[in-house]
Amino acid sequence: MEQKRREWVKNAAIIFLVIMLILTFFSNTIMNYSLPEVSAQYVSSGTLSEQIRGTATIEAAESYTITAADSRTVQSVSVKNGDTVEKGQVLLTLESGDSKELEAAQAELDDATVAYRKALLAIGADYSIDELSISNLEEDIAADKANLDNISVYQEEYEKAKAKVDSIEEKIREINKNIKALTNEQSRLDEQLTALSSDDFSSLDDSYYKRVEAAQEKIDKYEEIKATADKKVENLQNSIGDSVSDLDVELKNTEIQKQNELVTKLTAQYSEALAGTNADLDADEILEQLTDAKYTLSTLNAELRDLISTKNSNSSAETQLTYALVTQGNAEKNYTDAQEGLDTLKLTISKEIKAERSKITEKIDSANDELDDANNELADLEEEEAEAKEKASTSIEDAEKEILEKERSLEEMKLTLAQKQKSDLVSAGEASIDIEVMQKNISDLEEEVAELKESASGGEITAQVAGVIESIYPVAGETIEAGSTVAVIQMTEKGYTASITVTSDQAKKVKVGDAAEIQYFWYGDAAATLTAIKADTTNPATSKQLVFSVTGDVTPGQSIQLVMGGKGQQYDTIVPNSAVREDSNGKFVLAVVAKSSPLGNRYTAERVDITVVASDDTKSAVTGELMQSDFIISTSTKPINPGDQVRLVD
């Protein structure tokens, strides 16, 4: 019993010691796996180009405010905020009738005129005929001035019509140029077909010529071998006596001759079919007949060889002839196959050329249809141009000259009437004082009415400039007052601007004329150029406003991301942006510090305070107690604090 207890104690002690040894030797590994894993890199030096970034809103370089000329009621509004409008496009439609101001002024003028006429009748004066003549002439002048505005419109319409005619004529020239190029290509393909059918392969395109040349070289090779075999057979036949009836041989040769004639005939027809000179011949059908005829010819030649072989079978010469005939047969077959290969190749190339020619023909037909449409459009536009030209035949200068002459006549008529009235007033005595006051009042009212008519909006308010509607204020049914703002238009024809706010230090790194990159812009092409550096009104002490001129496929109200690279500068201490941390005490980095222990190196994260002096997308230049030999933590698998132990990524 005592013995067993001793054994148990001894075994427990051994197990305890083993466990302690294991824990001692593997404690480093176990602890490492519980520590945060970090990536680190050494502090570096180099050139850093600080990026200046900002989000800007596209605005028109200039805006135009449209005001109401008189008080009118709005019937309908034709545009909304953000709409693109052209010069002269209708913005508002007004209810018919005169403005309140014009109605009031006209009523006051009518009352003053009635009182004036009564006063004249009291002294026995009547100027109705003179006033009617003056009124008629004034109406004529007003009509001429209205027509003067139309002349300007007619001339603009004529210029537009003329520009359309010029544009369609340019289009017709381009279509004709395209048709000519396609026709030349079609002629070139016809020349290729002719060269292919005439066996003049030298004028074929390289791609075709190389293929045909290789097939022809194969024919020449087997033709030479066949000629050698034929010569050998001929010599052996001449050296062997006749053991077969000459009539048998002659009959067989006659059959071969007829078959040769058939092959020659079919070969000629096949060439005609390829060239297209005989529309009644089908190349595929002729090729099939030619192949059959050549096969029959080969069979007849074989039969002839059999006769000769039988005739000379018992002699040495006959044995040689047998081998020679076999060689001849092989050579003839190779030669025939090579010829058939060339014929097939020519047919294939011919089909390729014809297919390409067919595509060219389709393009020519399409271009001709387009040309017909363009010519029809040209005829319509020329008619429009002629009509517009006729309307614009009277020049603005001539119309203005005629208006000026009528205005001079009007002044003369008014002066004559004034002299006549003055003479009558002198005769009237004291009553003339009141009449003079009435005349002055009527004259002032007439000027007021004329001015109101001149500035009247008419039935519509139109855009004075092209651009994008920034604001449209009235709504249907609302009465707008004279001088009130109706709409604000961003004048896109003057270009676009955008601006971002940066620090004063950043502003020092760029200059007017520098280009900015527009990032993540998927709407087309756009470019931005720095045009001004201004003080920021919200924080002038520390901020600046960068103003850019923007061109391209942009619209007012659109947001863009602007990036500018400052001039590159050399820095001694550069760290990754991911390594820079910040808390209530400022910015800092964590440096990896190695400490020796009996079980190996321990790595600890130690805080190093820094100041960021410049940065780009990936790196920052800093100052602080850092050296290029310091190992800086950039990422970690867990949050870490200064003094924490870490393990380096493998």
Helix (H, G, I), strand (E, B) or coil at 474: coil
- Highest-confidence segment of 364-378, 419-433, 469-483: 364-378
Chain-centroid distance, C-alpha 212:
44
Its sign, for the CA torsion 570, 574, 577, 583, is: negative
Provide mean pLDDT across the span 100-119.
Answer: 66
101 band by pLDDT with thresholds 50, 70 and 90: low
Q: How many CA atoms lie within 13 A of 649 on its CB side?
A: 12
Give residue-wise pLDDT tens across range 10-35: 677 777 776 666 555 545 555 556 78
Q: Find, among 514, 510, 502, 498, the residue nearest to 549 by Cα.
A: 498
Give me the DSSP letters along 52-106.
Answer: EEEEEE-EEEEEEEEE-SS-EEEEEE---TT-EE-TT-EEEEEPSS--HHHHHHH
Instruction: Quote the CA–CA distance of 151 and 370 in Å, as a whole number.
Output: 36
Residue type, 333: K
Q: Which helix (H) or strand (E) holds 637?
A: none
CA distance 305 to 237: 10
Whole-number percent of the chain with pLDDT over 90: 2
Could you write out the three-class secondary structure of 550-618?
Answer: EEECCCCCCEEEEEEECCCEEEEEEEEHHHCEEECCEEEEEEEEEEEECCEEEEEEEEEEEEEEEECCC
| 524-563 burial: b if 16+ Cβ within 10 Å, else e | eebebebbebeebeeeeeebbbbbbebeeebebebebebe
pLDDT tens column, 334-389: 888 888 887 887 788 788 888 888 898 888 889 889 889 888 888 888 887 787 77
Cβ neighbours, 10 Å, residue 350: 20
Q: Which of 137, 130, 125 is nearest to 436 (CA)?
A: 125
Cα–Cα distance for residue pair 530/512, rounded to 1 Å: 5
Inter-helix orientation angle 396-428/431-455, to 10° = 160
d(CA 290, CA 286): 6
- Rounded mean pLDDT of 580-597? 87
Tell me, what's the pLDDT at 314? Answer: 45
Question: Rounded to whole angstroms, how far apart are CA atoms 644 and 636?
Answer: 12
Q: Is the pLDDT of residue 142 over 80?
A: no
Burial class (CB in 10 A: 0-12, 13-18, 19+), 327: middle
610 within 8 A of 16, measured Cβ to Cβ: no
Rounded to whole angstroms, how far apart are CA atoms 421 and 432? 10
> What H or E segment, with its residue span, contains residue 166?
helix 128-197
Closest CA to 564 of 49, 23, 52: 52
As given in the structure block, the two tokens for residue 10 are 């001894």
How confident is the prediction for the chain on average, in pLDDT? 77
Instruction: Provide the pLDDT confidence category of residue 609 given band limits of 50, 70 and 90.
Output: very high
User: CB of 587 within 8 A of CB of 612?
Assistant: yes
Q: How confident is the model at residue 53 (pLDDT cuts 50, 70, 90)?
A: confident
Helix (H/G/I), strand (E/B), else coil: 530: strand
Give dist(CA 601, CA 35) in Å, integer.
14
Q: Which residues contact 136 (CB under 8 A, 6 or more apart)?
A: none
Secondary structure letter of residue 279 according to DSSP: T
Which residues have a Cβ under 8 Å from the Cβ of 625 and sit 6 or more positions away? 608, 609
DSSP letter assigned to residue 392: T
Distance separating alpha carbons of residues 447 and 535, to the nearest angstrom: 49
| Residue 457 CB neighbours (<10 A) | 18
Gap between the terminal Cα atoms of the chain: 55
**Interval 436-448: pLDDT, tens:** 666 667 777 777 6
- Alpha-carbon span 301 to 255, nearest angstrom: 9
Least confident residue range of 272-276, 320-324, 421-425: 421-425
Hey, is 123 helix, strand or coil? coil
Q: What is the pLDDT of residue 607?
A: 92
Q: What is the pTM of this model?
A: 0.34
Rounded distance, CA 329 to CA 222, Å?
12
Alpha carbon separation from 388 to 151, 371, 384 (Å, rounded):
10, 25, 6
Closest listed residue to residue 475, CA positions, set 16, 158, 193, 79: 79
Angle at 361 between CA 358 and CA 364, to 5 degrees: 155
Structure token pair of residue 481:
């007052």
Residue 426 has pLDDT above 70, yes or no: no
Residue from 337, 121, 79, 96 nearest 219 by CA = 337
Rg (CA), the chain: 53
3 state SS of 124? coil
649 in Cβ contact with 637 (< 8 Å): no
435/473 Cα distance (integer angstroms):
47
Q: What are phi and psi of 342, to 5 degrees?
A: -65, -45
